[in-house]
Chains A and B, each alone.
Chain A
Amino acid sequence: MEAPKQTPTSKAGDWRSYQRVILPPVRDLHLLDVALRNGAYTALEKILKEGWERKRLVDEVKASGLRGRGGAGFSTGLKWSFMPPDKPGQPRYLACNGDESEPGTFKDRQIFEYNPHLLFEGMMMGAYGIGAHTAYLYVRGEYADYISHMERELAKAYAKGLVGKNLFGTGWDCDIVIHKGAGAYICGEESSLMESLEGKRAYPRIKPPFPAQKGLWANPTTINNVETLACVPLIVHKGASWFAGLGAPKHPGPLLYGVSGHVNRPGVYEYPTGMLLTDLIYEVCGGIRGGKKLKAVVPGGSSVPVLTAEMCEGVTMDAESMRDGGSMLGTAGVLVMDEDVDMVSFLRRTTHFYHHESCGQCTPCREGTGWLEKLVTRIDEGEGNLRDLDLLISLCDNMEGRTVCALADAAAWPVRWTVTRFRSEFEAKCKPSLVPGGFVSPETLGEAVADPGYVLSD
């Protein structure tokens, strides 16, 4: 491995002595009585009893610098402030996105299992901040066990008067409803999540109108990720400046890193943002198993661009550094791959995922994801031609930004960047082109497909 060009610096500060706050080391914290002994619901009690104005909470969250943990990394306080002024008789909703279907992401499940009361409290505080009285928690259907655990704990919290009507005697009401999904990646997209919550086929909506204007049942709605909302009580407890001072200055706070793949100790770790990717792999997770060499890292869920081993040097886990380093932070679900992984077979499975999960609403995505899968499969089977690689890139050009939601982009990015960054591996599996074609530009794509020699396999 090449030596790094400059000494890499972590932005996570003294992370080795970091004390966890989202998942603090407390035995049985998921049970209500234990959670109450450890300060659960006191942040909510504080803002209710002190009669905080909504704006004060929103400003506090803004000041903390909290950014969404679901992938886009948008400022949470700013998102809340997009909610329109109250209209009499118009309900408002908070939806918590616990769909967590991005391959490689498994952090929210730890909150569901180990600290659900922090999430419930955060959801109600989010509802308070945007003026809602109902908070929906959308959880993917696969988490059936965790849903039933949470339902049990939620029932306990209702029975104790911590959720529901007249909370802490202040006259403020807030209901939490757990909505069980049924297996659709697309529901992680916020407008599609709302369709699913309304009991429909989860087709993403055209924006604008944005959810803050017309969301659930055409009423103002804010959608936040599970981990994002779980941070809100911590901000009120410990102060916005504590939060803002933790980790990377532009993307602060505690972060759940989900590391999977070929490391010695995979799992979910809580550390400040801005950890060096190499610290995470080699020190926290004990390095690559079997003493093998690192080959590639997908740092934020399957749709973010893959990083080669060389590119991992000096990159820190925050949105800005990841962008400069050639990828995205996404959900911080880090997949580590060792030298033995065949990138073509790897990409083949990823394209299959997006083909399977495309909702079918927009043509570029419905057809494009299928083509990506067929082409990568064909290359993987040794039947591809060299010019298929250019066709793959031009397919990506024709998908990105041309659909209602970002699934097409999410499907195209891994193809574009895996093919670009591991091109020699793809070329090694390709046969020489036997019919004229050469480089296929987006303009000539139509012709190339009409070419009778160009039959997609399978």
Chain B
Amino acid sequence: MSNIHLEISPLPERNPERSFTPEQLVWTDEERARIDAYRASYPEAEAAVMRLLWMAQEKFGWLAPEVIQLVADTLGIPYAHAYGVATFYTMYFKEPKGRFVLDVCTGHSCQVCGAYDRMAHLEKTLGVHMGETTDDGQFTLQEAECLGACGTGPMLQITNGRYVHNLTDEKLDRMVATLRETGSWPFESVTLPQDEDEMQGNRRSDAEATEKAIPAPFFHSLGGHRHDAAPSHDPLHEGTEGA
């Protein structure tokens, strides 16, 4: 069976149970000011829908039908339009997700650097398959298309935000533990190789953490790696030389 095949999401129920009460579905004054600013950035109200869907998703966690309705009403556009936009773009959550959504990039650069092995490690550690959420609701594990951090692959993104570069199994364990404990992960600024030579390190003094674009320990997930294979001890992954 293909392990990179995504399920087709089922159609929403016609009269779904509400996840949010009318009292919850309101904007604060501060949010209203932001909405007005977004609205003023464009000649037409419709254009602000993407920003509002983002705001709504950050506020409510996911875009339930009533949340999309709130966005549509706020901008005075049809529900169908806002729903159409929400369903076109993959980063809008159309169903509830875990507290941390781990989008593991498996785009071609990350793929050849072992992204599927890191994915398999996460599946084992979290006890879920790709696309599932842990029972405690803490982590959703997903596969993502190229996230634009190819030099530091394999990498992942935490809930549509922070990038975590140069993944190794040890780093993933540390990240999962840190997320469970503190709920956050520092911003990693990738040091350009030429900066490394000319400036002896990262150029940002305000970077919380830095990562060099160094290759991940080398072994391959390509050619024969299967998720349905028994999770046997793989000597290939032990004691291979670093670069």
Q: In the complex, which residues of chain A have a beta carbon less than 8 angstroms from the beta carbon of B145? A: 101, 103, 183, 185, 353, 356-357
The reply to whether A199 and B44 form a contact with Cβ atoms under 8 Å apart is yes
- Is A321 interfacial (CB-CB < 8 Å)? no
| B161 nearest CB across to chain A (Å) | 5
Complex alpha-carbon distance, A145 and B108, angstroms: 23
A365-383 contacts to B, CB under 8 A, are: 377, 381
The reply to whether B160 and A289 form a contact with Cβ atoms under 8 Å apart is no
Q: In the complex, which residues of chain A have a beta carbon less than 8 angstroms from the beta carbon of B108? A: 103-104, 298, 302, 335, 346, 349-350, 353
Of the residues A270, A333, A340, contact of B220 by C-beta under 8 Å = A340
The reply to whether B222 and A342 form a contact with Cβ atoms under 8 Å apart is yes
Q: In the complex, which residues of chain A have a beta carbon less than 8 angstroms from the beta carbon of B112? A: 261-262, 335, 337, 341, 346
Interface residues of chain B: helix, strand, loop or mixed (majority): loop
- Mask, A140-151, CB within 8 Å of B = 1, is 111111000000
The reply to whether B205 and A28 form a contact with Cβ atoms under 8 Å apart is yes
Complex alpha-carbon distance, A349 and B225, angstroms: 13
Complex alpha-carbon distance, A261 and B147, angstroms: 15
Complex alpha-carbon distance, A378 and B205, angstroms: 50
| A24 nearest CB across to chain B (Å) | 9
- Is A263 interfacial (CB-CB < 8 Å)? yes
- Is A180 interfacial (CB-CB < 8 Å)? yes
The reply to whether B203 and A29 form a contact with Cβ atoms under 8 Å apart is yes
Complex alpha-carbon distance, A359 and B146, angstroms: 16
**A: contact size bracket:** 35 or more
B129-157 contacts to A, CB under 8 A, are: 144-153, 157
Of the residues A103, A114, A199, contact of B85 by C-beta under 8 Å = A199
The reply to whether B51 and A140 form a contact with Cβ atoms under 8 Å apart is no
Of the residues B106, B193, B241, contact of A349 by C-beta under 8 Å = B106
Q: In the complex, which residues of chain B have a beta carbon less than 8 angstroms from the beta carbon of A28? A: 203-206
Q: In the complex, which residues of chain B have a beta carbon less than 8 angstroms from the beta carbon of A298? A: 108
15 new A-B contacts at CB < 8 Å, known A200-B84, A260-B150, A289-B243: A23-B192, A103-B108, A145-B163, A179-B50, A185-B145, A196-B50, A199-B50, A261-B113, A267-B193, A269-B194, A285-B193, A290-B241, A302-B108, A340-B222, A348-B4
Q: Which 6 pairs of residues, A with B, have the shortest CB-CB distance?
A: A182-B89, A267-B213, A183-B91, A260-B150, A342-B223, A103-B146
